[in-house]
């Protein structure tokens, strides 16, 4: 009973923090960056404390309370709405284009700036779309989500938030099938997850949900459904390709054919209709850089184009090495998505905070200090020219100290994990 009161006390404490964040998000302009970081600590640190409390006891974490407060946090985010991001304008515009033109692909938003046929409701949406010179970068399954949100209520970010919140709660339920509730707590009550999905409506959770569902079904040897879901995950975001082949490693060729066929079935109608997300993905892969780690170091000694080739090849080598280890070891466990997505991100030219939504579910199954430190530290990437009173910085430029703080904390956490791992290994040798 005392532990349940502790859970409720921490839940209420976090709700107050998210309510304050929602209040700031509803004001004119963006929330003060210092206030945001304080509220991240307010809502994050007690959750870690609660996790360690239950890890040190034999008492199971109460699942009903886990879910109740997870829902409460996300509903507060729904009220607060997006901040520090404007990607939602693209989501709303894509839904409109899909519904009215039959495809969201092919035409860049800037082509409609002076089009009198654009409804007044969407003229403001169009004005907010970033990189309007590029067609959409979002994949087919994600576009179906945008379409459904449009059908429910055009140009409503709240509807889109509500759909993505429901999907994210499904992720929590799936994680409860893969790990104890005390570990699922780390994801269900994670400030980054609440901010990036409930407040800001990033759709990565859709791909994560499909990927996890495929993993759960593959463990039960239900490969037909698993293969279809994994294909849908890849057609939601290419990140899913990092793990999908590993999940199907024990599947038969006919299941692989279904996986490939599902991806093709999602892309083919749009390709025939005049375009897909691959064009803008190519521009993204060739030109964009934000909050990078290894790539930022490499481009100080070689040209950016060469640095992209190097990090791409390095990830391919490490991925193949892990696949060989996984297959040769006859591993029947869940693939180490925390390692693979972690390596992908640390090598990537772009590390947006919401990319960690792909990593964190696997950090529930394989908990580590570095992954959950990263879930907080990556939010320092919002320290940019857009959010600082420093007019010497470009809008998306980060001060050196900000990026240093972010990756310094993650590096320190990695060192702690390494020390703990070594000590456990030494104890086993003694025993």
What pLDDT, on the 0 to 100 scale, is given for residue 2?
A: 57
Name the pLDDT band for 421 (thresholds 50, 70, 90).
Answer: confident
Q: Could you report the per-residue pLDDT of 15-52, keeping only the tens digit for each?
A: 999 999 999 999 998 999 999 999 999 999 999 999 99
Q: Taking the mean position of all CA atoms in its chain, how far away is CA 145?
A: 16
Name the pLDDT band for 134 (thresholds 50, 70, 90).
Answer: very high
What pLDDT, on the 0 to 100 scale, is given for residue 275?
A: 86
Q: Could you report the per-residue pLDDT of 104-133, keeping only the tens digit for each?
A: 998 999 999 999 999 999 999 999 999 999
Residue 196 pLDDT greater than 70, yes or no: yes
Q: What is the mean pLDDT of residues 224-242?
A: 97
Task: Determine the Cα–Cα distance for residues 322 and 368; give it in Å rounded to an integer.
Answer: 19
Dmax over CA atoms of the chain, in Å, equals: 77
Rounded to the nearest 10°, the torsion over CA 30, 32, 35, 39 is: 20
Q: Could you report the per-residue pLDDT of 288-316, keeping only the tens digit for each?
A: 999 999 999 999 999 999 999 999 999 99
Name the pLDDT band for 388 (thresholds 50, 70, 90).
Answer: confident
Q: Could you report the per-residue pLDDT of 350-364, keeping only the tens digit for each?
A: 999 999 999 999 999
Burial of 198 (0-12, 13-18, 19+ CB in 10 A): buried
Do 188 and 10 touch, CB atoms closer than 8 A? no
> Other CB atoms closer than 10 Å to residue 179's CB: what's the count?
20
Residue 255 pLDDT greater than 60, yes or no: yes
Q: Could you report the per-residue pLDDT of 61-87, keeping only the tens digit for each?
A: 999 999 999 999 999 999 999 999 999
**Whole-number average pLDDT of the chain:** 94
Q: What is the mean pLDDT of residues 153-166?
A: 98
Q: What is the pTM of this model?
A: 0.95
Could you give phi then psi for residue 133, rounded to 5 degrees?
Answer: -75, -10
Task: Determine the Cα–Cα distance for residues 212 and 180; give it in Å rounded to an integer.
Answer: 16
DSSP notation for 287-335: H--BS-SHHHHHTTTS-HHHHHHHHHHHHHHHHHHHHHHHHHTT--S--
Q: What is the mean pLDDT of residues 90-108?
A: 95
Percent of the chain with pLDDT over 90: 85
Q: What is the mean pLDDT of residues 165-190?
A: 97
What pLDDT, on the 0 to 100 scale, is given for residue 389?
A: 81
Task: Determine the Cα–Cα distance for residues 348 and 335; give it in Å rounded to an integer.
Answer: 20
Percent of the chain with pLDDT over 70: 97
């Amino acid at each position: 009973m005392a532990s349940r009161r502790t859970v409720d006390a921490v839940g209420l404490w976090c709700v107050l923090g998210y309510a304050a964040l929602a209040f700031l998000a509803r004001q004119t302009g963006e929330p003060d960056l210092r206030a945001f970081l304080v509220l991240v600590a307010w809502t994050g640190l007690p959750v870690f404390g609660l996790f360690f409390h239950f890890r040190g006891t034999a008492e199971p974490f109460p699942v009903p309370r886990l879910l109740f407060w997870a829902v409460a946090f996300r509903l507060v985010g729904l009220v607060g709405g997006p901040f520090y991001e404007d990607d939602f304008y693209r989501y709303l515009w894509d839904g409109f284009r899909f519904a009215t033109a039959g495809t969201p692909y092919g035409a860049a938003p800037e082509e409609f700036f002076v089009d009198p046929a654009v409804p007044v409701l969407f003229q403001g949406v169009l004005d907010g779309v970033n990189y309007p010179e590029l067609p959409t970068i979002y994949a087919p399954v994600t576009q179906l989500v945008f379409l459904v949100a449009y059908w429910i209520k055009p140009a409503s970010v709240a509807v889109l938030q509500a759909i993505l919140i429901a999907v994210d709660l499904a992720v929590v339920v799936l994680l409860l099938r893969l790990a104890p509730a005390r570990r699922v707590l780390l994801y269900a009550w994670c400030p980054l997850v609440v901010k990036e999905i409930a407040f800001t409506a990033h759709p990565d959770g859709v791909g994560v949900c499909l990927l996890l569902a495929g993993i759960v079904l593959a463990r039960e040897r239900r490969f037909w459904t698993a293969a279809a879901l994994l294909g849908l995950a890849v057609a939601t975001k290419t990140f899913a390709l990092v793990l999908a082949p590993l999940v199907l490693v024990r599947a038969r060729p006919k299941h692989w054919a279904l996986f490939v066929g599902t991806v093709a079935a999602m892309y083919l109608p749009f390709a025939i209709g005049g375009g897909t997300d691959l064009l803008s993905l190519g521009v993204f892969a060739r030109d964009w850089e934000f909050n990078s780690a290894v790539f930022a170091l490499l481009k100080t000694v070689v040209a950016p184009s060469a640095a992209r080739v190097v990090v791409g090849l390095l990830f391919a080598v490490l991925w193949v090495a892990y696949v060989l280890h996984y297959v040769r070891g006859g591993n029947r466990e869940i693939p180490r998505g925390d390692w693979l997505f972690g390596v992908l991100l640390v090598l990537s030219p772009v590390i947006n905070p919401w990319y960690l939504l792909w990593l964190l579910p696997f950090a529930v199954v394989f908990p580590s200090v570095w992954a959950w430190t990263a879930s907080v530290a990556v939010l320092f990437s919002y320290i940019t020219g857009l959010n600082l009173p420093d007019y010497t910085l470009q809008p998306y430029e980060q001060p050196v100290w900000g990026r240093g703080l972010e990756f310094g904390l993650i590096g320190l956490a990695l060192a702690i994990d390494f020390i703990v791992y070594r000590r456990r290994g030494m104890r086993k040798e003694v025993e």
